[in-house]
C-alpha cells in the first residue's frame, strides 16, 4: 500500500495546479490533479492525513514569474513585486519633479482621504531594474517614503471536491453581520450567499468571481442554506490580472471600506512587509476598525507575514478537527486566535461546494464572530473585541497565550467535508 504513496506524494509536493502529470514512476498513477485528489481521498485515513499534513508551497509565484515575466519579478528578498513600479506615499511636489527629471513616469495618483494618504505609483525608466529604481528614488528624496509594489496572495488551498458535508452550521448568528472583505472576487449568485447583500468594489465595476474569494466569503457571511441576511462589502484587488493583489490596490480597497464605515474587515492574504500596506492597516486600526488576517501557511520556521503581523491586526491560525495546529501554519507573536481550517466545506465559484484548508479559511470564522455587535466602526467597542474573543476562546496548547494557538480556539463551527469530524 505504501509503495505507490511515495511517488504520489512527490507529485503532490511538486506539481503546479491544473498541470498535467507526465513521466512518473509506478504505472497506474493518476494523470491529472483532480484524479490525484480523488486518489488521495480514497487512501486509508492514516495515509491520507499524512499526505495532507505535508506543507506544500503554492506554485502561484513560480507560475506568475514564468507566465508573466514582463509584469512580475522578485525583490532582493525573493518576494514578488510588480515589475518597474515603485509606490510613493505622500510625495512632495519637488520630489516628483526630481523623479520626472530622472526619467520616471508619474503614473497612478490616488488621494486616499479616509486613510490620510496620497498614493503615487512611479514607473521606472526603460532599462532600470525595479530594485535600482527604488534605491534611486530614495537617494533623490531621503525624507520620502517609497517601496516596491508588492504582491499578496491567499493563504489557503481550495479543493475540487463536492461531497456532502457532515454538518451545515457555520455559527449561530441571530441576525446578519455587516463585514468587509479584501480578497479576490466573490460569486454573489452562489446559493451560499442567498440573502446576503453583496456590495462589490474594484475591477472598474466588473465582477470577476474567483474560487478563493468565494470560499472565504461563504465562511464569512454565507451558509449552506443561504446567508443570514447580512451585508458583505467585498473588495476585489485581483480582477483576474497577473499582477493583481498589489499593495496599491490593497490600500485603495482599505480606503473604500473605511468610507463604508465597516466595523470588521477580513483579510485572508499574506505577503512581505510593505510601507504602504503598513500605513493603510495602521490608519484603519487607529480609526476603530477591527482587522482580522490570516497568519499564513509558510510553516513554523517562516518569518512573520503581513498584514497579520502588524500591530492592531488580529492574526488567525488554523487547526484541524482535533484542535491541532496545521503543520503548515505560521507561528509567532502575531498569532492571536485559532479557528477550524482543515476539512472545511465552502462555496465553490460557479456553483457547488468544495473542501478548503489553510489559515485563509480560519480567519473569516474569527472575523464573523468579531462582527457581531460591531457592524459599523466604533472605537470603544473595537477596543474590547480582542478581549471578548480571548475570554470566550478555548485554550489550546500551553496554558495561556502561546505562539502556536494565540489565546485559543474561537468556537465558530464551519460545515466540514465528508468524513470529517467536529
What pLDDT shows up at residue 161?
A: 52
What pLDDT shows up at residue 54?
A: 37
**Which tens digit of pLDDT belongs to each residue from 275-330?**
999 999 999 999 999 999 999 999 999 999 999 999 999 999 999 999 999 999 99
Residues spanned by the domain of 13: 5-54
What pLDDT shows up at residue 166?
A: 34
82 within some domain: yes
Residue 163 pLDDT greater than 60, yes or no: no
**Which tens digit of pLDDT belongs to each residue from 372-405?**
867 677 777 777 888 899 999 999 998 999 999 9
pLDDT band, residue 414 (cuts 50/70/90): low
Residue 232 and residue 187 share a domain: yes
Parallel, antiparallel or unpaired: strands 313-319 and 290-294: parallel
Residue 53 pLDDT greater than 50, yes or no: no
Residue of 53, 401, 11, 358 lying closest to 216 (CA atoms): 358
**Which tens digit of pLDDT belongs to each residue from 73-128?**
999 999 999 999 999 999 999 999 999 999 999 999 999 999 999 999 999 999 99
Residue 198 and residue 68 share a domain: no
Count structural domains, the chain.
3
pLDDT band, residue 407 (cuts 50/70/90): very high
Residue 247 pLDDT greater than 50, yes or no: yes
222-235 exposure pattern, b = at least 16 Cβ within 10 A, e = fewer: bbbeebbebbbbbb
Which segment, 54-63, 160-169, 263-272, is predicted with the most confidence on average? 263-272
CATH number, position 365: 3.40.50.200
Q: Quickly tell me which residue has 468594489 as its cell.
A: 201
422 within some domain: no
Region 49-74: what's the mean pLDDT? 68
What pLDDT shows up at residue 32?
A: 43
403 within some domain: no
Contacts of 156 (CB under 8 A, 6+ apart): 212, 215, 268, 294, 297, 318, 341, 356, 357, 358, 359, 360, 361
Check 141, 147, 183, 210 and give the catalytic one: 183
Sign of CA dihedral 183, 188, 190, 193: positive
Active site residue 360: yes
Residue 248 and residue 268 share a domain: yes
Contact criterion met (CB below 8 Å) for 246 and 149: yes
**Which tens digit of pLDDT belongs to each residue from 175-193?**
578 999 999 999 999 999 9
Residue of 56, 32, 33 lying closest to 155 (CA atoms): 56
Residue 378 and residue 309 share a domain: yes
What pLDDT shows up at residue 158?
A: 81
Rounded to whole angstroms, the maximal C-alpha distance in the chain is 70
400 within some domain: no
CA distances (Å), origin 40, targets 46, 50, 161, 212, 295: 11, 10, 11, 22, 27
Parallel, antiparallel or unpaired: strands 157-158 and 80-89: unpaired
Residue 240 pLDDT greater than 80, yes or no: yes
What pLDDT shows up at residue 197?
A: 96
**Which tens digit of pLDDT belongs to each residue from 127-150?**
999 999 999 999 999 999 999 999
42-51, 243-252, 360-369: segment of lowest average pLDDT? 42-51
Check 150, 190, 200, 212 and give the catalytic one: 212
Check 84, 155, 268, 360 and give the catalytic one: 360
Residue 416 pLDDT greater than 50, yes or no: no
CATH number, position 109: 3.30.70
Residue 199 pLDDT greater than 80, yes or no: yes
Residue 338 and residue 250 share a domain: yes
pLDDT band, residue 224 (cuts 50/70/90): confident
Residue 323 and residue 233 share a domain: yes
Percent of the chain with pLDDT over 90: 69
pLDDT band, residue 28 (cuts 50/70/90): very low
pLDDT band, residue 419 (cuts 50/70/90): very low
Contacts of 95 (CB under 8 A, 6+ apart): 88, 140, 141, 144
Q: What pTM did the predictor assign?
A: 0.83
416 within some domain: no
What pLDDT shows up at residue 413?
A: 56
Amino acid at each position: 500500500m505504501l509503495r505507490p504513496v511515495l511517488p504520489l506524494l512527490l507529485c503532490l509536493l511538486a506539481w503546479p495546479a491544473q498541470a498535467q502529470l507526465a513521466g512518473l514512476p509506478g504505472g497506474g498513477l493518476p494523470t491529472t490533479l483532480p484524479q490525484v485528489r480523488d486518489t488521495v481521498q480514497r487512501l486509508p485515513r492514516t495515509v491520507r492525513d499524512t499526505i495532507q499534513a505535508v506543507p506544500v508551497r503554492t506554485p502561484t509565484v513560480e507560475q506568475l514569474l514564468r507566465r508573466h515575466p514582463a509584469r512580475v519579478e522578485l525583490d532582493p528578498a525573493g518576494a514578488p513585486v510588480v515589475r518597474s513600479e515603485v509606490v510613493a506615499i505622500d510625495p512632495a511636489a519637488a520630489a516628483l519633479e526630481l523623479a520626472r527629471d530622472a526619467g520616471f513616469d508619474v503614473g497612478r495618483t490616488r488621494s486616499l482621504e479616509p486613510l490620510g494618504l496620497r498614493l503615487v505609483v512611479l514607473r521606472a525608466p526603460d532599462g532600470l531594474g525595479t530594485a535600482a529604481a527604488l534605491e534611486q528614488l530614495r537617494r533623490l528624496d531621503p525624507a520620502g517614503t517609497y517601496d516596491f509594489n508588492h504582491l499578496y496572495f491567499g493563504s489557503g488551498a481550495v479543493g475540487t471536491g463536492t461531497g456532502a458535508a457532515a454538518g451545515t452550521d457555520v455559527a449561530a448568528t441571530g441576525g446578519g453581520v455587516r463585514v468587509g472583505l479584501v480578497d479576490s472576487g466573490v460569486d454573489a449568485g452562489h446559493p451560499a450567499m442567498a440573502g446576503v447583500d453583496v456590495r462589490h468594489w474594484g475591477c472598474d465595476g466588473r465582477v470577476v468571481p474567483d474560487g478563493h474569494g468565494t470560499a472565504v466569503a461563504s465562511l464569512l457571511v454565507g451558509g449552506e442554506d443561504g446567508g443570514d441576511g447580512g451585508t458583505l462589502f467585498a473588495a476585489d484587488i485581483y480582477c483576474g490580472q497577473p499582477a493583481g493583489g498589489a499593495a496599491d490596490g490593497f490600500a485603495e480597497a482599505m480606503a473604500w471600506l473605511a468610507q463604508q464605515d465597516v466595523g470588521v474587515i477580513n483579510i485572508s492574504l499574506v505577503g512581505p512587509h510593505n510601507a504602504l500596506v503598513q500605513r493603510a492597516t495602521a490608519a484603519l486600526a487607529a480609526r476603530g476598525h477591527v482587522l482580522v488576517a490570516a497568519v499564513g501557511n509558510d510553516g513554523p520556521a517562516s518569518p512573520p507575514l503581513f498584514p497579520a503581523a502588524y500591530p492592531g491586526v488580529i492574526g488567525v491560525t488554523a487547526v484541524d478537527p482535533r484542535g491541532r495546529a496545521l503543520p503548515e501554519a505560521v507561528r509567532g507573536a502575531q498569532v492571536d486566535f485559532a479557528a477550524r481550517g482543515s476539512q472545511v466545506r465552502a462555496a465553490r465559484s460557479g456553483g457547488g461546494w468544495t473542501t478548503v484548508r489553510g489559515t485563509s479559511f480560519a480567519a473569516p470564522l474569527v472575523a464573523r464572530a468579531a462582527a457581531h455587535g460591531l457592524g459599523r466602526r466604533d472605537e470603544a467597542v473595537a477596543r474590547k473585541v480582542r478581549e471578548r474573543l480571548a475570554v470566550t476562546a478555548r485554550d489550546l496548547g500551553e496554558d495561556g497565550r502561546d505562539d502556536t494557538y494565540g489565546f485559543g480556539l474561537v468556537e465558530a463551527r464551519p460545515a466540514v467535508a465528508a468524513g470529517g469530524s467536529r
